[in-house]
Amino acid sequence: MNLTTWLLRIPVVLALLISAPAIQAQGAVAPTLEKIREYGAIYVGYREAAVPFSYLVGDEVTGYTKELCDRIVATVRDTLADPTLKVVRVPVTASSRMLMLMTGVIDLECGITTNTKIRQQSVAFGVTTFVSGVKTVTRKDIGIERIVDLNGKVVVTTAGTTTERVVRTVLAGRNAIVHSKSARTHLESLAMVLSRQADAFVLDDAVLAGLMASSPQADKLKLLDENFGFEPYGIVLRKDDPEFKKLVDDTLVGMMKNGELETLYNKWFMSPIPPKNITLQIPMSGMLKELLRNPNDTGI
């Protein structure tokens, strides 16, 4: 993210920090369940355009990860015996989500966050609920067919994601060099490809599929078959809060064991989804099926 973009965001972040009840005078954040109980509200971060995980349809947040977090919120209500617990939904971006979580602005990040060992130094992750391939979208008229064809091209990634590092690592192993650009959001990254400011956009395949299906210029785009790698997604919470981590994991593992998570997966990846009733047709991967049998929060 460039300095101008960050400066523009400072008033927004400060407003959230001031309004969020989680921040204590000494700068520490209270244990999550204690904080939620005290203020009668849980603050849930969501993404505005991460189809089909977390996105807006009109003014309503919807998506696969959003529904997973709804189940966690239901467990919190039961645990606290507070059926009227308020849910405050807070929009986050790839760049702002970790800061907002660590400082207590939000209690859960319910978007599309890759679980990495580096991030685990600052935050905690629930058990993995999706495994994504990292792929490339490009224009059909540019002649890019394989990852190696990106050599010398302009490749855009979204600020705050793990894909820029993945692209550099994989291409270095193939003796290829690209000219890197960064955009604030996934929609801006895709727009740069369509407007010829970039030749390719690298991101997780399920999100790319959602972006392409929603784009009025989808007929100009194509998704390359090759993967840069695979990334596990997890719901993010604050670090060093074992009570809340257990609640999150127990809820998700319960959904895995009783078949609810698979049903939810089929709803969002194998069936028509709003607002255009598109079907992404992304069958559950073998890796995710194994994780449903043996859940874990291992990062990459």
Q: Is the domain of 118 the same as that of 238?
A: yes
Judge whether 261 lies within some domain. Answer: yes
Give per-residue burial for 80-102: e unless 16+ CB within 10 Å, then b.
eeeeebeeebbbbbbbbbbbbbe
232-291 per-position pLDDT tens digit: 999 999 999 999 999 999 999 999 999 999 999 999 999 999 999 999 999 999 999 999
- DSSP calls for 125-148: EPSP-EEEEEEEEEEGGG---SGG
- Per-residue confidence (pLDDT) for residue 79, from 0 to 100: 98
Which pLDDT score is estimated for 197? 98
List the CATH number of the domain containing 86.
3.40.190.10
Kind and range of the H or E run holding 20: none
Judge if 226 and 277 occupy the same domain.
no
The letter for the amino acid at 100 is M
How many independent structural domains does the chain possess? 2
Q: What is the residue whose two structure tokens read 């005078």?
A: 25
- Domain match, 48 and 121 both: yes
Q: Is residue 8 part of a domain?
A: yes
Question: Among the three residues 197, 215, 230, which one is the final residue of a domain in this structure?
Answer: 230
Q: Which domain holds residue 260?
A: 3-129+234-293
Q: Is residue 299 part of a domain?
A: no
For residue 105, which of 113, 96, 116 has the smallest C-alpha distance? 96
Residue 272 shares a structural domain with residue 140? no
pLDDT of 231 strictly over 60: yes
Which of 177, 195, 230 lies at the terminal end of a domain, its last residue?
Answer: 230
Short-list 78, 111, 107, 76, CA closest to 92: 111
Q: Could you tell me the end-to-end alpha-carbon distance of the chain, in angstroms, rounded to an integer?
A: 23
8-state DSSP, 270: S
Mean pLDDT of 37-58: 96
- Looking at the fold, whether 70 and 193 belong to one and the same domain comes out as no
H or E segment to which residue 78 belongs:
helix 64-80
On whether both 123 and 171 belong to a single domain, the answer is: no
Same domain? For 256 and 278 the reply is yes
What pLDDT, on the 0 to 100 scale, is given for residue 28?
64
Q: Specify whether 84 is located in the same domain as 163.
A: no
Q: Tell which of 210, 230, 250 closes a domain.
A: 230
Confidence (pLDDT) at 165: 86
Residues 161 and 281 in one domain: no
In a domain, 300, yes or no: no
Residue 16, pLDDT > 60, answer no
Residues 48, 1 contacting (CB under 8 angstroms): no
E-only strand ranges, 39-128 = 41-46, 49-50, 54-57, 60-62, 86-91, 108-110, 123-125
Assess whether 146 and 285 both reside in one domain.
no
pLDDT digits (tens, 9 = 90+) for 164-209: 888 889 988 988 899 999 999 999 999 999 999 999 999 999 999 9
pLDDT in tens, 85-140: 999 999 999 999 999 999 999 999 999 999 999 999 999 999 999 999 999 999 99
Distance, CA of 43 to CA of 105 (rounded, Å): 7
Q: Based on the domain organization, do 122 and 52 belong to the same domain?
A: yes
User: Rg of the chain over CA atoms, in angstroms?
Assistant: 19
Say yes or no: 121 and 148 in one domain: no
Q: What pLDDT score was predicted for residue 4?
A: 40
